[in-house]
């Protein structure tokens, strides 16, 4: 019983610290802009042995495509000890679950072309939401290392029955800017 009370107190303090941290907005902005992209045009025709890549101007124009994104109202959270993940996100099993913690709309931002709507209830039927929205976004709580210069966050995104993925992002703060230093795919369909 005492262990459970200590766990609840720890979760409370982590939640209060995490929710009051302005870095949360910056981290969500970086990973959302990295993760949510409109579908690109089909690849160019094959020229000999090579395939031409999309130009920067094509990528920039894709980032201007307006998208309506539904946000699952409950945050994902880590089941396991996340402190080991700050050193190596590749080899450690990552378990997560949907917690009772709610997403704060003011923490969600992305590039100007993205419009977010935090839903009122957890969604299990993506198909009905995908008729109204271009995609559904799942966010986790953000975990910081002891120095507050590294952060972990899980982002899940689906834009169709058979098009979804979940990634773990490791970010590092350089001066005042958060940068993604590594990402790991946790699931894909």
In angstroms, the CA 36 to CA 159 distance is: 10
In angstroms, the CA 144 to CA 138 distance is: 19
Mind listing the pLDDT tens digit for each residue in 105-140? 888 888 899 999 998 876 666 666 677 888 889 999
Average pLDDT taken over every residue of the chain:
79
Residue 124 is encoded by which pair of tokens? 């299990």
Is a pLDDT exceeding 80 seen at residue 172? Answer: yes
Contact 52, 44 (CB under 8 A): yes
Query: What dihedral angle (degrees, nearest 10) is formed by the CA atoms of 95, 98, 99, 104?
Result: 120
Mind listing the pLDDT tens digit for each residue in 67-92? 899 898 889 888 877 778 888 888 78
In angstroms, the CA 92 to CA 146 distance is: 19
Task: Band the pLDDT of 13: cuts 50, 70, 90.
Answer: very low
Q: Classify residue 159 by its DSSP letter.
A: S
Residue range 147-161: mean pLDDT, rounded: 87
Query: What dihedral angle (degrees, nearest 10) is formed by the CA atoms of 91, 149, 170, 28?
Result: 150
Question: pTM higher than 0.85 for the full model?
Answer: no
């Amino acid at each position: 019983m005492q262990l459970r009370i200590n766990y609840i107190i720890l979760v409370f303090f982590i939640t209060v610290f995490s929710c009051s941290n302005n870095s949360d907005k910056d981290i969500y902005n970086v990973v959302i802009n990295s993760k949510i992209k409109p579908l690109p045009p089909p690849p160019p025709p094959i020229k000999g042995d090579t395939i031409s890549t999309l130009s920067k101007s094509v990528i920039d124009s894709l980032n201007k495509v307006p998208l309506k994104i539904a946000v699952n109202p409950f945050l994902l959270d880590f089941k396991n000890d996340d402190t080991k993940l700050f050193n190596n996100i590749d080899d450690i099993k990552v378990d997560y679950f949907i917690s009772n913690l709610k997403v704060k709309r003011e923490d969600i931002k992305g590039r100007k072309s993205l419009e977010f709507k935090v839903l009122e209830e957890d969604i299990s039927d993506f198909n009905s939401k995908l008729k109204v929205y271009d995609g559904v976004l799942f966010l986790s709580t953000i975990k910081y290392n002891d120095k507050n210069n590294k952060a972990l966050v899980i982002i899940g995104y689906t834009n169709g029955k058979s098009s979804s993925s979940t990634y773990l992002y490791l970010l590092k703060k350089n001066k005042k800017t958060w940068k993604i230093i590594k990402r790991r795919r946790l699931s894909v369909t």
